[in-house]
Structure 1
Amino acid sequence: MSGFKRQEIAELIYNKLKLKQQDIKVAYQASKDQIGFFYIDDLLPVDIAKKCFEVFPDKSEMHTLKSLREYKHVSAQMDKHHELLESVIYAFQDKKVVELIGEICNIEALYADESLYAGGISLMAKNNYLHPHLDNSHDAERERWRVMNLLYYVTPEWETKNGGHLELWPNGPKKAPQLLESKFNRLIVMATHDRSWHSVNEVTIDSSRCCISNYYFSDDPLNNSDRFHVTKFRGRPEDTFTNIILDLDANLRMLLRKVFKKGIRKNPHFYKNKSS
């Protein structure tokens, strides 16, 4: 199965998007005044999707992010992992795929990110979570706006009761979220802007929810109201103490970015591709 090349996988993704284009465009347009999103089930042939899961690295081979904000395992250094995973990630960056998603979401200029800044692969195991947050607004150089988040899930038979599902907070993190299940072979595409609060609820079973992710960038923000911001985390509505701590944390990091435009240190989460 690793014999499937990036271009072949891109063609499969493109054809599925094209087949569902009208329905997913309607879904995105209906939700874009809050958090624009759409999803497609059965994105790739089942054998490819299952192979992605079979070759997914163990969490011990990934970088662990553990704090009050989040607890998950990530990697962008794709040459350390099975070639199929890299092929699938970059298939989403194929020019035809990017342009079609731009057409579906009515965004004129979209750019894929070869460096996989904050993208790549992620794994969430038992007790892992991601608190409500806004993704930081820009790329690493603060030159382009982060506007789309693509999440492709590859864990077979992942059920609602398992947790590890994407939550959108269209009315802000003080209101109830909308749950989008992290179903096997499902692609979720969501807009990222100054109101796109989202989270992942806690994984409840001793198993791994695996995801392949990409971000797209643009020359302009999706909302005219958007301004530069760091990643902002909140606690859940009932967790007042966490809200206070994470609010202080976001304000401090934002203050530092006003002094140090590109941060005190470079975010290590990107693909250090020796062949580039």
Structure 2
Amino acid sequence: MLMRSTVMRSNLALDGENFAVAYQRARPFPHIALKDFWDVEQIAEVSRQVKEFSFFDGEKDFYGTQKKRYCGTYERMPPAVRELIDTCHHRSFIKFLEDMTGESDLVGDPQLVGGGIHSSTTGGFLKVHADFNWNEQLGLYRRLNLLIYLNSGWEESWGGSLELWSRDMSRKEVSIAPFFNTVAVFSTDESSYHGHPDPLNCPEGVTRDSIALYYYSPAKPIDARRTKRGISEYRSRGVSDFLSSVKYKLIDKFRAKIGYVAPRNG
């Protein structure tokens, strides 16, 4: 099943059952990385428009993430990006995701809470965390993350690989390099710990760009400890993160007392 010719086209026959076993049996939690996913000319145009984009909503700069520019305002985005998002929210694409992941009744987020264009500059990072699992605007549980990488010519020595960590945070189990036209999909639950926690070592002027989309369902995750968790939870990787982690937990406790709501991250 190919996407309609008027929107983004996939290089793959989008039969989710072809990827279901690989996705659902993956460790440390269900995930997959699909290379050369989109029509190369179309995704190259998306990449070009993102590289030239300057109308970001803001830049995140706190304990969990630094030097990460973002835009979740659909109307502000370049046309090729809107076309890509429309494709990923189309029912036929969501059916592909459902067949691959085993999820049901998935919907995309038209408000793009925490999602949209993400662009990290030299020195940027995203600490290992488990995402918020509840979208108050939709009244639904977050079940899937989909990340589309746009980085032509990216070198692994620059860092920025998506790291998937064991559920007990004892070790990194998977690294997915943010190479051009790679799509990463993974399930969101209480312990799906992920991030790119080390500062980017790319040259000045080079950015790590992606489109982040999240999918929701009325069904509560089976292992959810709490009914609704509206913020991401960050975790220490060990001694190197220990002091920062302790500091952040103290800040977290203070924020909870005063009712502060932390920024959401993808």
Is 1:236–2:237 an aligned residue pair? yes
Moved more, 237-246 or 54-63: 54-63
1:37 alignment counterpart: 31
Paired with 2:13 and 2:124, the residues of 1 have a C-alpha distance of 31
SS in 1 for 2:89: coil
TM-aligned CA deviation for residue 268 of structure 1:
9.4
* Structure 2 equivalent of residue 137 of structure 1: 133
Partner of 2:155: 159
Mark the CA change 1:268 to 1:152 in structure 2 (over 3 Å): closer, same or farther.
closer
1:67 pairs, out of 62, 65, 72, with: 62
1:58, distance to aligned residue in structure 2 (A): 5.1
Shift of residue 234, structure 1, vs aligned partner: 2.5
Matches within 5 A, 1:91-170: 91-141=87-137, 143-170=139-166
Alpha-carbon distance between aligned partners in 2 of 1:56 and 1:49, rounded to the nearest angstrom: 11
Determine if contact 1:136/1:231 at 8 Å carries over to the other structure.
yes
| Residue identity matched to 1:178 | V
Deviation at 1:159, TM superposition (A): 2.0
CA distance in 1 between counterparts of 2:133 and 2:177 reads: 25
**Aligned residues of 1:133 and 1:234 also touching (Cα < 8 A):** yes
Structure 2 stretches lacking a partner, 5+ long: none
Shift of 1:45: 1.6
- Note the aligned Cα RMSD (angstroms): 2.6
In terms of fraction of residues, the more strand-rich structure is 2
Q: Distance in 2 between matches of 1:142 and 1:44?
A: 28
Matched AA of 2:236: G
2:78 corresponds in structure 1 to 82
Q: Is the 8 A contact 2:18 2:100 kept in 1?
A: no
Tell me which residue corresponds to 1:172. 168
Which deviates more, 189-198 or 225-234?
225-234
Name the amino acid aligned to 1:222: P
Write the distance in 2 (CA, Å) between the matches of 1:17 and 1:169.
30
Look up the match of 2:208: 209
Structure 1 pair 87–226 and aligned structure 2 pair: CA distance change class (3 A): farther
- Quote how far apart the aligned CAs of 1:10 are: 5.4
Cα deviations across residues 74-131 of structure 1 (Å, max 9, x unaligned)? 1012322321111112211101111221121111211111111111010011100000
Between the aligned partners of 1:208 and 1:174, the Cα distance in structure 2 is 30
Alignment-derived partner of residue 223 in structure 1: 222
User: 1:213, CA displacement in angstroms?
Assistant: 1.2
Q: Partner residue of 2:44? A: 50
The separation in 1 between residues aligned to 2:64 and 2:261, in whole angstroms, is 19
Q: Which amino acid aligns with 1:220?
A: A
- Pick the aligned partner of 2:181 from 167, 181, 185: 185
| Contact map agreement 1:53 1:155 (CA 8 A) in 2 | yes
Deviations 1:14-47 (A, max 9, x none): x72525x345212211126x42101211111211
Q: CA deviation at 1:203?
A: 1.2
Q: Distance in 2 between matches of 1:163 and 1:213?
A: 19
Q: Secondary structure at the match of 1:172?
A: coil
| Partner secondary structure for residue 248 of structure 1 | helix
Amino acid corresponding to residue 26 of structure 1 in structure 2 = V
- C-alpha separation in 2, matches of 1:54 and 1:236: 35
Find the aligned partners of 2:249 and 2:138 in 1 and give their Cα distance. 23
Where 2:63 maps in the other structure, the secondary structure is coil
Contact 1:59/1:73, CA 8 A, preserved across alignment: no
- Answer with 89-98 or 59-68: which moved more: 59-68
- Corresponding residue number in structure 1 for 2:20: 25
Contact 1:10 1:97 in 2 (8 A): no
Change (3 A) 1:106 1:22: closer
CA contact (8 A) 2:132 2:264 kept: no
